[in-house]
């Protein structure tokens, strides 16, 4: 549970967590205008919208690198630091890598309470220690809004890299956590969240994706993977579909959701990031004929997640084995759909079908 603090961190910022990211459409428009890089050792760069970059340093070894930081989405500083660390580490896990070192990224008011900053950094160090990832240093700047996170470097086998471009027709889709952190933390910011909603959301956001990644790398048949963060299930699903040239079919009722997520939506706790995600992805999403998806459930599909689940595209014959292995390891994984077709933008086919 959150501890009592004289300053509510969520009241000091306009948007919290991964909901504070730039709108995906705006970011994509900028990235598409940048010149191509020609370095044969850069195995994965920003052009594929993957979770982290991969750089080859030896025939059998590569670096995996990412950076992630954001504004507070909970009021307790220590908890905020834990969530920021877990979220940054997740990008490495999503590629199949092992984190080694990290650098803290800190934006903090000049006249801010240094005890709050200490607790934020203690929380981050707590999760980095759990991940066996050394904090080697960092960088700070003065800023009116608090922001915190990490640049993380890890190692990865270049022959065993999971990207969002690996999904194959016929694969099953598995999700490793429930979604709903965006709307629940928005309800918290608005003072309308039930304590149990927040407690469950914090438990999810502070849980590392380390165990899930370790299980996934041991199962044959995994073709692609991404983690679900600021662009929501639909935004990151769109990236996987387009990068792989496939259509994802999502069985909406099977998508695990946090207690209180739909209630938060009904209360109007809609983060701006959710609306931006919907604007960006709606044009490539269709509902299956005969589907009757409740509006609040459909809305949740666009919710920006912080330290969210892994979305795995795995061969259908290996899907149940993977799900059981994850569940045996304490990961509440669920099958949420399949790779149902080929995506061709010029034909007007959707990238995602909701059923």
Dmax of the chain from CA atoms?
58
For 42-65, letters b (16+ CB in 10 Å) and e give ebbeeeebbbbbbbbeeeeebbbb
Phi, psi torsion values for 299, nearest 5 degrees: -60, -40
- Rounded Cα distance between 343 and 143, Å, is 43
197 in Cβ contact with 259 (< 8 Å):
yes
> Which uninterrupted H or E stretch holds 7?
none
Domain ranges in the chain? 9-156, 172-354
Give per-10-residue mean pLDDT for the chain (355 aa): 60 62 72 85 87 95 96 94 98 97 97 95 98 98 95 97 96 98 95 96 97 95 96 96 96 98 97 93 94 96 97 97 97 97 84 96
- Rounded Cα distance between 12 and 333, Å, is 35
Q: Smallest Cα–Cα separation from 78: which of 206, 210, 184?
A: 206
- Rounded Cα distance between 204 and 131, Å, is 16
Q: What pTM was estimated for this model as a whole?
A: 0.91
Give me the CATH code for the 172-354 domain, please. Answer: 3.90.650.10
Judged on CB neighbours under 10 Å (0-12, 13-18, 19+), 316 is: middle
Give me the CATH code for the 9-156 domain, please. Answer: 3.30.1330.10
Characterize the bridge pairing of strands 352-354 and 246-250: parallel
CA dihedral 304, 310, 314, 320 (to 10 degrees): -110
Q: Smallest Cα–Cα separation from 329: which of 228, 216, 203?
A: 216
Q: Which residues are catalytic?
A: 18
Q: Cβ of 168: how many Cβ atoms within 10 Å?
A: 16
pLDDT of residue 193: 94
Strand ranges of the sheet holding 147-156, from the earlier edge strand across to the other edge: 42-44, 53-58, 61-70, 147-156, 98-108, 134-142
* Collapsed DSSP state (helix, strand, coil) of residue 34: coil
Residue 58 CB partners (closer than 8 Å, separation 6+): none
CA dihedral 90, 255, 173, 56 (to 10 degrees): -10
Tokens of 2: 């959150």
> Which uninterrupted H or E stretch holds 3?
none
The DSSP symbol for 60 reads T
pLDDT of residue 2: 47
pLDDT of residue 1: 44
């Amino acid at each position: 549970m959150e501890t009592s603090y004289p300053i509510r961190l969520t009241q000091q910022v306009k948007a919290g967590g991964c909901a504070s990211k730039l709108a995906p459409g705006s970011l994509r428009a900028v990235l598409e205008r940048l010149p191509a890089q020609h370095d044969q050792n850069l195995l994965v760069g920003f052009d594929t919208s993957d979770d982290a970059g991969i750089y080859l340093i030896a025939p059998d070894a590569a670096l995996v690198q990412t950076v992630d930081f954001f504004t507070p989405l909970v009021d307790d500083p220590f908890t905020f630091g834990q969530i920021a660390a877990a979220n940054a580490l997740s990008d490495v896990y999503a590629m199949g890598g092992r984190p080694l070192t990290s650098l803290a990224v800190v934006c903090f008011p000049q006249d801010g309470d240094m005890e709050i900053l200490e607790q934020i950094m203690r929380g981050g160090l707590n999760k980095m220690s759990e991940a066996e990832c050394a904090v080697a240093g960092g960088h700070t700047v003065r800023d009116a809004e608090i922001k915190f996170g990490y640049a993380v470097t890890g190692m990865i086998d270049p022959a065993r890299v999971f990207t969002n471009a690996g999904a194959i027709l016929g694969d099953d889709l598995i999700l490793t956590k429930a979604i709903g952190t965006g709307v629940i933390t928005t309800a918290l910011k608005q003072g309308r969240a039930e304590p149990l909603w927040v407690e469950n959301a914090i438990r999810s956001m502070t849980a590392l994706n380390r165990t899930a990644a370790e299980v996934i790398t041991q199962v044959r048949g995994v073709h692609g993977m991404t983690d679900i963060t600021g662009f929501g299930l639909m935004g990151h699903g769109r990236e996987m579909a387009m990068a792989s040239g496939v259509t994802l079919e999502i069985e909406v009722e099977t998508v695990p959701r946090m207690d209180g997520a739909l209630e938060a939506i009904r209360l109007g706790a809609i983060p701006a990031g959710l609306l931006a995600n919907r604007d960006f992805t709606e044009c490539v999403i269709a509902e299956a004929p005969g589907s009757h998806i409740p509006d609040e459930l459909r809305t949740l599909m666009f919710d920006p997640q912080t330290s969210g689940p892994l979305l795995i595209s795995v061969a259908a014959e290996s899907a149940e084995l993977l799900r059981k292995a994850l569940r045996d390891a304490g990961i509440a994984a669920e099958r949420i759909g399949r790779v149902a077709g080929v995506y061709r933008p010029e034909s007007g086919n959707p990238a995602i079908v909701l059923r």
